């Protein structure tokens, strides 16, 4: 909810409400991505090497929770003495957001492969996690419509900015309460992995091991393409709905487009669980990406709200595959790495994974910046909307993401952790964990 609320609102707020031009925002996100190139893997590797009586992950989550909640509000309180001041604030606040978000989220996510080792447990918990993820996504896209009257600022109301700030404050409170519950009752680090912090390789060796892992490299291309699409569709849907589908001053209907996606993802999770169980996670992920690519096709042709809702429903079913499979693939990669290094390095893998998928932000905003600025929207102006801009929005919703999904599916074709190879890893891992438990008792 925190990250998707950020993704859904931040571009619209600074482009349509504050009035920063598309290229300024693009350059800000390029700088943000460079910051991520340092921030994400470094925090992941530090997490793996953390030695404390509270475990490796919990201290980071505790430290980051309150700042994350506060920054959810500060995202929407820019300095407005000049466009340059607003731009500088924008860069600083999105970097601050990602710093504390990574501190919390990376360690939260790293707990999953460690707490749930068994394949069946992972599948079951992954499904439950993603159901709750969908709830968070729904809150992130519906909550703004309850308080923001004119989401894309078509009418220029003077109170729209304060409405964005109210939504940011509410999101911050919900994030705070949710993570306090998680800190109190949700963290169960295993004792047999406590000594792994002493065996974790240094930063340079950890980078080397991770980036030489063929399984990780083939996986991360698919993840990069997936997050490229997530990052692009969320900020563009309000503009596509308003100007292509003809949704007038109806923020609720704009969010309904995304709401349909997430609601259809719920039965999709069960469907892709069955598919993954029968043919394997790798093949299931590949098929879901191709489904998703095909489902996006109507966006290039439709012009009415009903067709938009139907297309979004079909897209949601395909999107559910990426939600379900991603963590399962990373968990298998961490298991394989443990056999090579002797220690579990979830933080390192999720950190470098975060580094690479955050690069999708550069692809996302370069795509958006080029399309909008070359078709008349260097600076947001509803009065200059044209046919060329309409076709640009259609391209962002279909052509670019469809190409990305095909690339991702092709990469997964070469992903090696499947079938006999994966079974051998699980058997060897069970023996290693038995040895670690025995050493822990001793």
pLDDT in tens, 199-231: 777 667 777 888 889 999 999 999 999 999 988
pLDDT in tens, 150-160: 988 988 999 99
* Predicted local distance difference test score (pLDDT) of residue 333: 94
Distance (Å, whole) CA 330 – CA 344: 12
Highest mean pLDDT: which of 111-115, 190-194, 269-273, 381-385?
269-273
Per-chain mean pLDDT for the chain: 90
DSSP characters over 2-60: HHHHHHHHHHHIIIIIS---HHHHHHHHHHHHHHHHHHHHHHHHHHHT---TT-SSHHH
Residue 300 pLDDT level (bands cut at 50, 70, 90): very high
> In a 3-state reduction of DSSP, which class is residue 218?
helix
- Look up the pTM and report it: 0.79
Contact 404, 228 (CB under 8 A): yes
Distance (Å, whole) CA 21 – CA 172: 27
| Average confidence (pLDDT) over 85-100 | 95
Has residue 197 got a pLDDT over 70? no
Has residue 311 got a pLDDT over 90? yes
Residue 396 pLDDT level (bands cut at 50, 70, 90): very high
* Predicted local distance difference test score (pLDDT) of residue 281: 93
Has residue 141 got a pLDDT over 60? yes
Angle between helices 203-211 and 22-48 (to 10 degrees): 110
* Predicted local distance difference test score (pLDDT) of residue 441: 65
Residue of 194 and 102 predicted with greater confidence: 102
Has residue 113 got a pLDDT over 90? no
Q: Within 13 Å of residue 62, how many CA atoms lie on the same side as its CB?
A: 10
Q: Which residues contact 142 (CB under 8 A, 6 or more apart)?
A: 255, 259
Distance (Å, whole) CA 232 – CA 225: 11
* Predicted local distance difference test score (pLDDT) of residue 442: 59
Residue 190 pLDDT level (bands cut at 50, 70, 90): confident
| Average confidence (pLDDT) over 411-421 | 94
The pair of structure tokens assigned to 267 is 């039965």
- Give the helix/strand (H/E) hosting 408: helix 399-413
Which of 89-98, 163-172, 187-196, 267-276 is least confident? 187-196
Contact 73, 63 (CB under 8 A): no
Would you call 409 exposed, middle or buried from its count of C-beta atoms within 10 A (0-12, 13-18, 19+)?
buried
Has residue 39 got a pLDDT over 60? yes
Has residue 249 got a pLDDT over 60? no
Nearest to 21 by CA among 393, 382, 372, 397: 372
What's the CATH class of domain 2-441?
A: mainly alpha
Residue of 249 and 14 predicted with greater confidence: 14
Instruction: Please give the biggest Cα pair distance in the chain.
Output: 74
| Main-chain phi, psi angles of 82, to 5 degrees | -165, 165
* Predicted local distance difference test score (pLDDT) of residue 33: 83
* Predicted local distance difference test score (pLDDT) of residue 182: 94
| Strand ranges for 106-187 from DSSP E | none
Contact 143, 2 (CB under 8 A): no
Nearest to 259 by CA among 8, 3, 2, 6: 8
| Average confidence (pLDDT) over 90-119 | 91
* Predicted local distance difference test score (pLDDT) of residue 399: 96
Give the whole-number percent of the chain exceeding pLDDT 90.
56
Has residue 250 got a pLDDT over 60? no
* Predicted local distance difference test score (pLDDT) of residue 46: 86
| Average confidence (pLDDT) over 51-72 | 93
Distance (Å, whole) CA 319 – CA 298: 16
Based on its alpha-carbon atoms, the radius of gyration of the chain, rounded to whole angstroms, reads: 22
Q: Which residues contact 150 (CB under 8 A, 6 or more apart)?
A: 156, 157, 160, 249, 251
* Predicted local distance difference test score (pLDDT) of residue 251: 59
| Average confidence (pLDDT) over 229-255 | 83
Residue of 40 and 10 predicted with greater confidence: 10
| Average confidence (pLDDT) over 16-33 | 91
> In a 3-state reduction of DSSP, which class is residue 418?
coil
* Predicted local distance difference test score (pLDDT) of residue 379: 85
Residue 350: other Cβ atoms inside 10 A:
28
Which of 29-43, 122-136, 230-244, 415-429 is least confident? 29-43
């Amino acid at each position: 909810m925190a990250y998707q609320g950020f993704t859904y609102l931040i571009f619209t707020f600074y482009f349509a409400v504050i009035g920063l031009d598309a290229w300024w925002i693009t350059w800000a996100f390029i700088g943000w991505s460079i910051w991520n190139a340092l921030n994400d893997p470094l925090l992941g590797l530090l997490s793996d090497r953390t030695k404390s009586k509270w475990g490796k992950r919990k201290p980071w989550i505790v430290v980051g929770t309150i700042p994350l909640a506060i920054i959810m509000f500060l995202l929407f309180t820019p300095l407005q003495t000049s466009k340059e001041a607003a731009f500088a604030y924008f860069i600083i606040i999105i970097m601050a957001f990602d710093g504390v978000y990574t501190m919390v989220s990376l360690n939260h996510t790293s707990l999953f492969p460690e707490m749930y080792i068994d394949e069946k447990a992972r599948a079951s918990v992954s499904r439950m996690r993603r159901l709750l993820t969908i709830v968070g996504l729904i809150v992130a896209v519906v909550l703004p419509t309850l308080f923001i009257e004119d989401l894309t600022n078509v009418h220029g109301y003077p109170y729209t900015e304060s409405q964005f700030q109210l939504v940011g404050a509410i999101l911050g409170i919900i994030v705070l309460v949710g993570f306090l519950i998680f800190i109190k009752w949700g963290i169960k680090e295993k004792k047999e992995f406590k000594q792994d912090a002493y065996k974790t390789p240094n930063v340079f060796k950890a980078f080397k091991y991770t980036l030489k892992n063929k399984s990780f490299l083939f996986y991360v291309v698919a993840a990069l393409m997936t997050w490229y699409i997530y990052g692009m569709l969320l900020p563009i849907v309000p503009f596509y709905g308003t100007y292509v589908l003809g949704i007038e001053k109806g923020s609720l209907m704009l969010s309904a487009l995304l709401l349909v996606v997430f609601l259809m993802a719920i039965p999709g999770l069960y469907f892709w669980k069955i598919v993954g169980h029968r043919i394997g996670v790798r093949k299931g992920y590949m098929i879901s990406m191709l489904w998703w690519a095909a489902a996006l096709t109507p966006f290039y042709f439709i012009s009415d709200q009903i067709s938009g809702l139907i297309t979004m429903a079909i897209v949601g079913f395909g999107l559910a595959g990426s939600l379900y499979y991603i963590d399962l693939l990373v968990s298998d990669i961490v298991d394989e790495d443990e056999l090579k290094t002797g220690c579990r390095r979830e933080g390192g893998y999720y950190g470098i994974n975060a580094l690479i998928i955050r690069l999708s932000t550069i692809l996302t905003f370069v795509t958006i910046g080029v399309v909008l600025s070359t078709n008349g929207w260097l600076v947001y102006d509803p009065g200059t909307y044209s046919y060329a801009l309409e076709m640009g929005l259609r391209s962002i919703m279909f052509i670019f993401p469809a190409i990305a999904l095909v690339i991702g599916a092709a990469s997964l074709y070469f992903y090696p952790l499947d079938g006999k190879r994966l079974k051998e890893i699980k058997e060897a891992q069970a023996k290693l964990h038995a040895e670690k438990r025995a050493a822990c008792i001793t």
